[in-house]
Amino acid sequence: MSSPANFNGKRPVIDPSDTAMLLIDHQSGLFQTVGDMPIPELRQRAAALAKMATLSKLPVITTASVPQGPNGPLIPEIHENAPHAKYVARKGEINAWDNPEFVAAVEATGKKTLIIAGTITSVCMAFPSISAVADGYKVFAVVDASGTYSKMAQEITLARVVQAGVVPMDTAAVASELQRTWNRDDAQQWAEVYTKIFPAYQLLIESYMKAQSVQKDGEVLDSAR
């Protein structure tokens, strides 16, 4: 039986004021091994996470596994969408949490809630997520912004991280918990984030804008009569 996450009586939701985002090993070479989701969708969701971290003013820490080798460099969208992100170079550690500088960067944020996504899910996301929970952090793992070899590997990893106390989420749910309300000045930017998560959301925006335009035209005609 899976063990529920222990949040010490607190609501198991994301508190933006106490949250940092860790985007681990979203690298061009590693992406080529992904088989549980389309690579363009994975890439868009990783970029969306970076953008929502910027909108929510969350600290972002990135890292890469041997980027000078076949794993390749980080995809550029991460730092383009989160220019404030701090990159931590590793010295070959597979588990980012085994790198003292990476852990120190997380500790320096002063946050105790972590949103983590990483490619490959079963390693680069799972290992630091489990390690962070063991060190007392509340961890939300973004499964559809990670990516691994197969659906079987994804399912096995989900079972493992949940037993360790990690809370799995999808990218859209993370966006909604961080955004909280549409009654905000940057609502249009949040709408654009959702189009990166599921492109069909653009159709919803277009239909809404058309409806608004028709309503406005109707009001103009009524006032002219």
Domain boundaries, the chain: 16-183, 189-224
pLDDT of residue 8: 54
Q: What is the CATH number of domain 16-183?
A: 3.40.50.850
Say what the pTM is.
0.88
Pairing of strands 86-89, 167-169: unpaired
Please give the pLDDT value at position 225: 58
Query: For every residue of 108-130, which 3-state class applies, written as one string?
Result: HHCCCEEEEEECCHHHHHHHHHH
pLDDT at 102: 98
Q: What is the pLDDT of residue 138?
A: 97
At residue 192, the pLDDT reads: 93
Query: Which of 30, 124, 164, 197 does the annotation list as catalytic?
Result: 124
Distance CA 51, CA 1 (A): 36
Q: What's the CA gap between 99 and 89, in Å, rounded?
A: 9
**One pLDDT digit (tens) per residue for the chain, 225 residues:** 344 455 555 667 899 999 999 999 999 999 999 999 999 999 999 999 999 999 999 999 999 999 999 999 999 999 999 999 999 999 999 999 999 999 999 999 999 999 999 999 999 999 999 999 999 999 999 999 999 999 999 999 999 999 999 999 999 999 999 999 999 999 999 999 999 998 888 787 777 777 777 666 555 455 655
Q: CB–CB of 132/139 below 8 Å?
A: yes
Q: Do 158 and 36 contact (CB within 8 A), yes or no?
A: no
- Amino acid 13: pLDDT: 86
Cα(38)–Cα(55) distance, rounded to whole angstroms? 26
Catalytic status, residue 124? yes
